[in-house]
Structure 1
Amino acid sequence: MTRIVLFENIHPSAKEVFNAAGFDDVVTHVSALPHDELREAVRGAHVLGIRSRTQLDADIIAQAQDLQLVGCFCIGTNQVDLDAAMMRGVPVFNAPFSNTRSVAELVLGEAILLLRRIPEKNDRVHQGFWDKTADGAFEARGKTLGIIGYGNIGSQVGTLAETAGMRVIFHDVEAKLPLGNARATTSLEKLLGQSDVVTLHVPGGKATENIMNEAAIRAMKKGAILINASRGTVVDIEALHAALKSGHLSGAALDVFPSEPKSRNEPLQSPLIGMRNVILTPHIGGSTQESQENIGREVAEKLSRFLQTGTSKGAVNFPEISYQEPAGEARILHVHRNLPGAIGTLSNLMAEQGLNIVSQQLQTRGQIGYAISDVEGKVDDKIMSLLREHPITVRCDRV
């Protein structure tokens, strides 16, 4: 029986999908676990479902001897050692689209709040002051929103911002088709110099580390606003703090941080704490009931499809093979070392055991290849053992 272990209070919609697909052995944990406890929790698991706090490093992946699949019920996959998983023949799936609207709404809401100086005015009223003034407060209408990273979320932010009357410009390292009246800028510097509000929607990694450094922040318009709901490493926090203190920037909103607390009881450490013109949120850009339900369904459906048919479309670390209707009597999923003659070796092994291949799909990625073979003939434990024990095999399963 396939055992599925879910961590971090993943939405019940995921379990509903698994159960509907016939997978009833679903174990849930309400939070991430410390490393030693996690090692024990993954024993015997065929599928692991995590969010952003659970760290699946090479050691944990090696410990999970029965592991076939990992589902990241979020956008990011930095918490998983993707190469270690790939070399074990374990595809990793995520949810790149399901929380797009939630993040986009948060960004637009923060832009409007900061343009109107609401965080500061809210704080003053709570302290007993009635600062009824229009000084430094502006409408969103007519202001320029600069989007750095025009992907799924960035483009959605632009679409929403236009409905509020904002002018939208964007910069991306790849050519992107503009939506609505948005237009691309020829350089990051031009975007920074033209934007009243700058919002970041880029992936993590070395290429984007501290792209908003001291020089970039200095290139922003005086009085502009910076919003980051992408990755904590893309903004130099000390440089941002200095720009806010000097008045070069009028406000900022951050949902992600270079170093984030591991639990709700651990406080955030940041020089931005206490600044009235800064909105700090605990990485909740995608944390709405709607998005979590959608994420639960999206990722669970991908995992279920792989378990049922072997389709790996959407995997972030694995050769992608789209769904194809099964043919023959059995389907064999074979992950192998990407070496010359690998697929011929696989076909010969099957032929020697009296299996006739009626349909076969193959894709490679880096050091591994992945073949889905529909065969006629009896696929018993002996044949599966022969396939699994061959030196070229990384992983072999049947569905």
Structure 2
Amino acid sequence: MEVSYPKKKINVLLLENIHRDAFQLFESDGFNVRLEKAALTEQELLERIPDIHILGIRSKTNVTAPVIAKAKRLLSIGCFCIGTNQVDTQAAEGRAIPVFNAPYSNTRSVAELVIGEIIMLARRLSDQIRNNHEGKWTKVSDGCFEIRGKTLGIIGYGHIGSQVSVLAESMGMKVIFYDIQTKLPLGNAVSLPTYEDVLKNVDFLSFHVPETEETMNLFQKKHIQLMKKGSYVINASRGRVLQIDDLTEALKSGHLAGAAVDVFPEEPKANGESYKSPLHNLENVVLTSHIGGSTEEAQKNIGTEVAEKLLKFINNGSTSLSVNFPNIELGTIKPGFHRILNIHKNQPGFLRDINSIVSDMGGNILTQNLSTSMQIGYLSMEIDKNLGDELKNRIKEHPHSIRTRILY
């Protein structure tokens, strides 16, 4: 069967050891796909991006504006993780490149890790483990507590925060939370009106927020001072949410009884690389290597979820659940139909002009969908005849057009 563009000529690059299920989905659909273990630096990505049509990354590869500017063939970016802050999504939108992620697939994995860390902190297990490996017998109860009856504060009550809430409550904890958006509490959790209200009333504090300008250094000395002496902090969200030096000072002074940190302001690019943190070797501090979503189940689910979104976009033009793009859900192209996909600057009159071009060339428009953002418009239309490259070139000449694809 004739296709719009041979899939074997579409280059897919999957970095950072993305789950092999994603590789197999692209390979089985006929794409030229390459799977690599490591992240790429900006310079390495600049050298390779001109030949890439689909890019898959996790959290360590940064897709910057200069990279996007050089990505002449890039159709879409898949972030095989929750966050997308490692991609300049605004620059990608301006170049007609939708970005997809997996906001749900590792929810349970992160939530379970947080619950485990709460128990570790309450029982000072990191110190016990280290002492026993060193041959020191330290059977003590001082400073060790049950978590039942304690209060957990959650900052960010999204998919992960709410899941932590349910698990914590099932273990007998009282849960309070704060979110910048109004969220329906699950179980007996209680929403408090301010971030500071949560800080003042918790035994354990857990962060579940994205990295934005508002969340940078969200937890620093002035916030620590609001917490009662002997409380604990867990961060499995983003590394720049906590001011590490202030956290270190509070741990050394004893104001905070412990902390669990899974994410850091600067992280190594590959396994085995060394890193330095002022939190190293402090008592009752659990440090992990950004493993919140690193379970086999989560990585498999993420690989499948993001790959399927990318495949839908390439094969039929659907942009549903893209984080930076007008969302349109499209079905299978009917036999004999030809789907035109166009991204353009969001300016008045464009739809009228495109309809005129199609009509002048003898095409009959059968269906049409248009969705817009402040910056761009995304148009899908189906016509009853193949007008081929001539139509594509006519649309390309329009001053507001950014990119056009024709599928059949």
TM-score (norm 1): 0.96
Amino acid at match of 1:283: H
TM-fit CA distance, 1:261: 2.0
1:372 aligns with 2:384: no
**Equivalent residue number for residue 14 of structure 1:** 22
Q: Quick check: 1:75–1:94 contact (8 Å CA) kept in 2?
A: yes
1:268 aligns with 2:275: yes
Give runs of aligned pairs for residues 318-337 of structure 1, distance below 5 A. 318-326=325-333, 329-337=337-345
CA offsets per residue over residues 66-108 of structure 1, 9 Å max, x none?
1111101111111111121111101000111111111101100
Q: Quick check: 1:72–1:94 contact (8 Å CA) kept in 2?
A: yes
Amino acid at match of 2:354: L
Amino acid at match of 2:382: D
| Distance in 2, Cα, partners of 1:197 & 1:33 | 37
Question: Among residues 279, 303, 306, which one is paired with 2:286 in the alignment?
Answer: 279
| Distance in 2, Cα, partners of 1:121 & 1:29 | 38
| Distance in 2, Cα, partners of 1:250 & 1:318 | 44
TM-fit CA distance, 1:337: 0.8
**Equivalent residue number for residue 48 of structure 1:** 55
Tell me which moved more, 71-80 or 375-384: 375-384
**Equivalent residue number for residue 124 of structure 1:** 131
Q: Please, which runs of 5 or more residues in structure 2 have no aligned partner?
A: 1-6
Q: Quick check: 1:355–1:376 contact (8 Å CA) kept in 2?
A: yes
Q: Quick check: 2:259–2:284 contact (8 Å CA) kept in 1?
A: yes
Amino acid at match of 1:8: E
Amino acid at match of 2:377: G
**Equivalent residue number for residue 353 of structure 1:** 361
Amino acid at match of 2:49: V
**SS in structure 2 at match of 1:42:** helix
Q: Quick check: 2:38–2:269 contact (8 Å CA) kept in 1?
A: no
| Distance in 2, Cα, partners of 1:212 & 1:35 | 30
Question: Among residues 131, 137, 142, which one is paired with 2:144 in the alignment?
Answer: 137
CA offsets per residue over residues 5-49 of structure 1, 9 Å max, x none?
1111110111222234x2331112221123333223223221111
Give runs of aligned pairs for residues 1-399 of structure 1, distance below 5 A. 1=7, 2-20=10-28, 22-326=29-333, 329-399=337-407
Tell me which moved more, 95-104 or 122-131: 122-131
| Distance in 2, Cα, partners of 1:323 & 1:218 | 52
Amino acid at match of 1:38: L
**Equivalent residue number for residue 3 of structure 2:** none
**SS in structure 1 at match of 2:339:** strand
Amino acid at match of 2:276: Q
Amino acid at match of 1:343: L
Q: Quick check: 1:204–1:231 contact (8 Å CA) kept in 2?
A: yes
**SS in structure 2 at match of 1:234:** coil
| Distance in 1, Cα, partners of 2:302 & 2:289 | 19
| Distance in 2, Cα, partners of 1:80 & 1:379 | 36
Q: Quick check: 2:123–2:145 contact (8 Å CA) kept in 1?
A: yes
**SS in structure 2 at match of 1:207:** coil
TM-fit CA distance, 1:379: 2.8
**SS in structure 1 at match of 2:342:** strand
Q: Please, which runs of 5 or more residues in structure 1 have no aligned partner?
A: none
Count of aligned residue pairs for this structure pair: 398
Structure 1 segments, 4+ long, off by >6 Å, are none
TM-fit CA distance, 1:124: 1.6
TM-fit CA distance, 1:176: 0.3
TM-fit CA distance, 1:325: 5.0
| Distance in 1, Cα, partners of 2:387 & 2:226 | 65
Q: Quick check: 1:5–1:42 contact (8 Å CA) kept in 2?
A: no
Q: Quick check: 1:43–1:63 contact (8 Å CA) kept in 2?
A: yes
Amino acid at match of 1:12: R
| Distance in 1, Cα, partners of 2:124 & 2:329 | 49
TM-score (norm 2): 0.94
CA offsets per residue over residues 164-214 of structure 1, 9 Å max, x none?
111111111111001111111122222112111100001111111111111
Q: Alpha carbon RMSD of aligned pairs, Å? A: 1.4
Q: Quick check: 1:4–1:27 contact (8 Å CA) kept in 2?
A: yes
